[in-house]
Amino acid sequence: MRTVLAREMGGCSVLGRIWGVWRRRPGVRAVPKAPGFGTEAGHRLRPRGSSKRSRPLGGQPFPGLLQLENLSREELVDVLRAAVVDQKGKPGELTLFSVLPELSQSLGLGDQELQVVQASGKETSGLVLLSSCPQTASRLQKFFIYSRRAQRPTATYCAVTDGIPATSEGKIQAALKLEHVDGVDLVIPVKSPSRKDFQEGVKRTLSHFHVVAMGSGCALVQLQPLTVFPSQLQVHMVLQLCPVLGDHTYSARVGTVLGQRFLLPADSTKPQRQVPDEALLRHLCLTPSQAAQLPLHLHLHCLHLPGMRPGEAPMKLLAPLPSYFFRTLQCLGLHQQ
C-alpha cells in the first residue's frame, strides 16, 4: 500500500490536496499547505504547532479562507491545481466544472477533457479525483461500485462533532429520503420503510464511525460511508445526537432539555444556523456572529485506489486538513488518546 498526496497516474490526473468549501453564498475557501493527517497504523493525530489552545483571532477566526470576489478566473484555475471548489453548480456560476477546460490546458493535457471521478460533498473539504482518460475513469468508477457492493470502504472522512458519540466505534444504519421543502432539498430519515417507500426513492444507508479523540464536549471522528446518499454523514451524526461542527442545515434537529439531547422531528424542523453553547464558544474563541460562519468540519481525507497497472500495489491518497480544522483541534484539545 502506497500513500501519496498527489500524482499523475497514467491518464488519471489526481488533485490530492482539496481544501475548497463552496457555501450557498459566493466564496471559495482554500488554505496553504498543511501536514498530512495520517490514518495508517503508527501515525499520530496531532495539530500543527503548539498544543496550547489558540488565542482569539479577531476578524479572521477561520485562517486560510479566501473570498471568491478576490479571485480572477485565471487565479481560480491556479488554485484548482491543488484545491477543488465544487463538482456542480448553476449556469454561469464560477465552479470546478465551469473552468475544467482551462484547468486541462493549465495541466498540459491539450484537448483531453477532464471529468470528475470522485468528489466530496458541496460544503465538504477534501479530495477530488479527476481523470483525462475515459477508460481510467470507467475503471475507477467500477472499482468504487464493486467496493460498495462488497461493503469495503474506499473513503475516510474526518469530522469534528458537537457532542461525543455514546460508543467509541460502530455503524450507523438509516433509511433516508430526499425531500424538497420550502425550496431546499433536505434529507429525511424514514422509520420502518415499506416496499412502496423504497420504490419512491427511500434508500438504506450505512456508515462506520470511529472516535479518534475527545475533548471539551466534542469529538474527532473518522467516518467511512458504505453507501452513497446526499448529506449522508451529516444526517448520520445527527442521528447519533452529535452534529458535525459547522452543520447549519441538520444540526437544528438535535434539541437539548436540562442537558439531555434528543431528536426533533426531521420533517418539521427547518434548517438554521448552528448555535454552539457558551462553553463551546469559549473553547473555540469565537463570538456568536463568528460561530454563525463556521465552515463545515467534514473533510474527505483519504481515498483507497487500485494500482493503475497490472501487478501495481494499491495506493492511499491523502489530503491534509484545512488550517481552520487544525485550529479547531487545537482549541478543543483534540489529540489522539
pLDDT in tens, 237-259: 999 999 999 999 999 999 999 88
User: What value does the mean pLDDT take over residues 317-337?
Assistant: 89
Per-residue pLDDT band at 61 (split at 50, 70, 90) = low
49 pLDDT exceeds 50? no
* pLDDT of 88 over the 80 cut: no
- Per mean pLDDT, which range of 23-32, 43-52, 127-136, 224-233 is the poorest? 23-32
Across 16-20, 307-311, 331-335, least confident range: 16-20
Q: How far is Cα 253 from Cα 239, in angstroms, rounded to an integer?
A: 9
User: 113 Cβ partners below 8 Å, 6+ apart?
Assistant: 100, 101, 104, 132
Mean pLDDT of the chain: 79
Q: What is the pLDDT of residues 161-203, one digit of tens each?
A: 999 999 999 999 999 999 988 888 999 999 999 999 999 999 9
| CA 131 vs CA 14, 109, 116, 141: distances in Å | 7, 11, 7, 11
Query: What's residue 206's pLDDT?
Result: 97
Q: Looking at residue 267, what is its pLDDT?
A: 87
C-alpha–C-alpha distance, residues 200 and 279, integer Å: 43
On the question of pLDDT at 96 being above 70, the answer is: no
Burial 35-52 (b: 16+ CB within 10 A, else e): ebbbbeeeeebebeeeee
Nearest to 299 by CA among 238, 220, 236: 220
Q: What's residue 44's pLDDT?
A: 37
Per mean pLDDT, which range of 6-20, 76-90, 162-176, 237-251 is the poorest? 6-20
Look up the pTM and report it. 0.76
User: Rounded CA gap, 202 and 174, in Å?
Assistant: 10
Region 120-134: what's the mean pLDDT?
Answer: 85
Q: What is the pLDDT of residue 269?
A: 92
Q: What pLDDT does 1 receive?
A: 56
What are 268-315's pLDDT values in tens digits? 899 999 989 999 999 999 999 999 999 999 999 999 999 877 788 888
